Structure 1
Amino acid sequence: MSIKDYQPALAAARQAASAAADILLHYWRKGVTVEWKSDATPVTVADREAELAIREVLASELPGASIFGEEFGHDGQSQEWLWLVDPLDGTKSFVRRTPFFSTQIALMHRGELVLGVSSAPVYGETMWGCTGKGAWFQGDPVQIADTTELAQASISFGNIKSLTGDARWTAMGGLVAQANRVRGYGDFCHYHLLARGALDLVIESDVNILDVAALAVIVREAGGVFTDLAGRGPSLETTSVLAGTPALHRLALARLHIDQGTSA
């Protein structure tokens, strides 16, 4: 595949997400037995079957690429191409019958995220983005909002428990006090809203790159800025997110950029 044309890989990622959606919806209706990993997070047969289906589709399109998946780890020797796959992001929601779960598929080329697909099957909602091709929602192009003032901004927070004990908590309180509206949509939802202009800023901690890689591409290609809480671009080491309109991202980063001697 030419590095200038990611469309075949994007088509494969969309096909893989659709295959995963069929599996997830089947088990959503049927119900599943929950198992627990060593890190005390849940896993189900739906997670595993969806990832296997994704891997099969992706391997047929880009057979030389490596794949890093949530359930089956890293396969492949390629240093150039790496698929990042979370077949069921939001398993805790899934097993509690909360529809805030999704499939996340992204492709890295030489360390740079170049495409991403985010599928929320219960909502029948799919977004995707590709370098230089923009971001799309159900086949229509989307654009980030042009909000520049905190007083007009809608902010969504996710997984923020780990921030309650550090100096950024007070800074976040200041953002909350001045914002127009504060929500906690979480998971895929607040990134989808951000990319299509219905939300202005997302702040999240306790994530890993598999959760957010595809969403990072979508937000970026919609015209937004997506970094971690220290302002670093997404990478395999990402554990937090600050994403928003360019103006609000700059404002929030300045407020939250407090030197604590540890990385975000």
Structure 2
Amino acid sequence: MTDILDKALGAARDAAGTAAEIILHYWRAGVDVIVKGDDTPVTVADREAELAIRGILSAALPEAGIYGEEYGADDTSREYLWLVDPLDGTKSFVRRTPFFSTQIALMHRGELVLGVSSAPVYGERMWAVRGRGAYFDGERVQVASTAAMRDASISTGNVKTLTGDARWNALGAMIRDSNRIRGYGDFCHYHLLARGGLDLVVESDVSILDVAALAVIVREAGGVFTDIHGGAPTLESRSVLAGTPAIHAEALARLTGATIDR
């Protein structure tokens, strides 16, 4: 498996670089926006980037399936499965806000084992392979050692669903007890968490394609990455609770201890 992961990491990094060139071209030139059936936007940048990524990944690891944001899944039952969001943060992209990225992850028998996260406007790239640590532009990174909520920096992303039940009050209490609250969103707060700049990320409305690569990166940086119920990420995951080990444990206890109104 080591040889496969070496080959896969090289391909994923190459694919992220190729996608960055495509995305930056359209970032400078501008694009028309199409609204998909689920009322989310898509552009030619999304679609061209995914096709380019698929070509590189398929050539490097033909035995793997690919599940992509724009072109769906060809086979999710294979031993290896690529998860690809070519332009995560399209809403930011079309509004000229640079909080978007390319996310490429690899699953092996349902477990996330590799992740590459590329933010082309920022020139940032992070990657990780199971058991090998997490890296930011070639330098190994580690989450902070923060252990007390009073010292914690919390960042929220999309938390619309969370506002509908008692967990919203639990989150509010954590914010009151924390050191500070931010809302970086998208790739940005996960990169900061893995590099020690944040201590907790909470999101209740995501796709696994948005966060699969970031899950590997945060875990390999020494953090804990689950859904908001404490479960490991799966293809069906729709929420995230990620943080330093101590802060994640306290946040999970607070959120799961809240009574959810039905």
Question: What CA distance in whole angstroms lies between the structure 1 residues aligned with 2:74 and 2:172?
Answer: 43
Question: What code does the residue aligned with 2:201 have?
Answer: V
**In structure 1, how many angstroms separate the alpha carbons of the residues matched to 2:251 and 2:198?**
15
In 2, Cα distance between equivalents of 1:259 and 1:238: 21
SS in 2 for 1:123: coil
Alignment of 1:68-87 (within 5 A): 68-76=67-75, 79-87=78-86
Secondary structure of 1:220's match?
helix
Deviations 1:21-47 (A, max 9, x none): 000000000000000000000000000
TM-superposed deviation, 1:215:
0.1
Identity %: 69
What does residue 47 of structure 2 align with?
48
Within the alignment, does 1:186 sit opposite 2:179 as a pair? Answer: no
Match of 2:103, SS state, is strand
- Report the alpha carbon displacement of residue 4 of structure 1 after superposing the two structures with TM: 6.8
1:203-222 → structure 2 map (5 Å cutoff): 203-222=202-221
Give yes or no for contact 2:22–2:48 (8 Å, CA) kept in 1.
yes
Q: Which residue of 1 aligns with 2:200?
A: 201
5 Å-filtered alignment, 1:7-22, equals: 7-22=6-21
Which structure 1 segments of 5+ residues have no match? Answer: none
CA pair 259-230 structure 1, distance change in 2 beyond 3 A: farther
Report the Cα offset of residue 259 of structure 1.
5.1
- TM-score normalised over the length of structure 1: 0.96
- Give me the whole-angstrom Cα distance separating, in 2, the residues matched to 1:37 and 1:218: 30
Residue 79 of structure 1 deviates from its aligned partner by 2.0
Contact 1:135–1:218, Cα closer than 8 Å, also in 2? yes
Q: Does 1:235 align with 2:240?
A: no
Change (3 A) 1:150 1:92: same
What letter is aligned with 1:134?
G
Aligned length: 261
Please give the secondary structure, in 1, of the residue aligned with 2:225.
Answer: strand
**Offset of residue 163 of structure 1:** 1.1
On the 8 A contact 1:66/1:83 being kept in 2, the answer is: yes
The TM-score with structure 2 as length reference comes to 0.97
Whether contact under 8 Å (1:65, 1:78) holds in the other structure is no
CA contact (8 A) 2:167 2:260 kept: no
What residue number does 2:89 align with?
90
SS at match of 1:128: strand
CA contact (8 A) 1:64 1:76 kept: no
**What is the alpha-carbon distance in structure 2 between the residues aligned to residue 3 and residue 235 of structure 1?**
23
Q: Distance in 2 between matches of 1:136 and 1:192?
A: 10
**Letter of the structure 2 residue corresponding to residue 9 of structure 1:** A
Distance 2:252 2:146 in 1: 16
**2:67–2:76 Cα contact (<8 Å) kept:** no
- SS of equivalent to 1:255: helix
- Which residue of the partner structure matches residue 23 of structure 1? 22
1:64 Cα deviation from its structure 2 partner: 1.3
2:50–2:70 CA contact under 8 A, matched in 1: yes
Q: Deviations over 1:39-87 (max 9, x none)?
A: 0000000000000000000001101110000000011475201000000
The CA RMSD measured in Å over matched residues stands at: 1.3
Name the counterpart of 1:35.
34
Q: 2:260 maps to what in 1?
A: 260
Q: Tell me the equivalent position of 1:175.
A: 174
Residue 147 of structure 2 is matched in structure 1 by 148
Is the partner of 1:188 in helix, strand or coil?
helix
Task: Tell me if structure 2 keeps the 8 A contact 1:86–1:103.
Answer: yes
Letter in 1 for 2:252: L
User: Cα–Cα, structure 1 residues 236 and 189, in superposed 2: closer, same or farther, change >3 Å?
Assistant: same
Aligned 1:64-143 pairs, distance under 5 A: 64-76=63-75, 79-143=78-142
Aligned to 1:163: 162
Q: Structure 1 CA distance, aligned partners of 2:261 and 2:238?
A: 16
- Whether the 8 Å CA contact 2:165–2:261 is kept in 1: the answer is no
Shift in alpha-carbon separation, 1:194–1:77, aligned structure 2, 3 A: closer
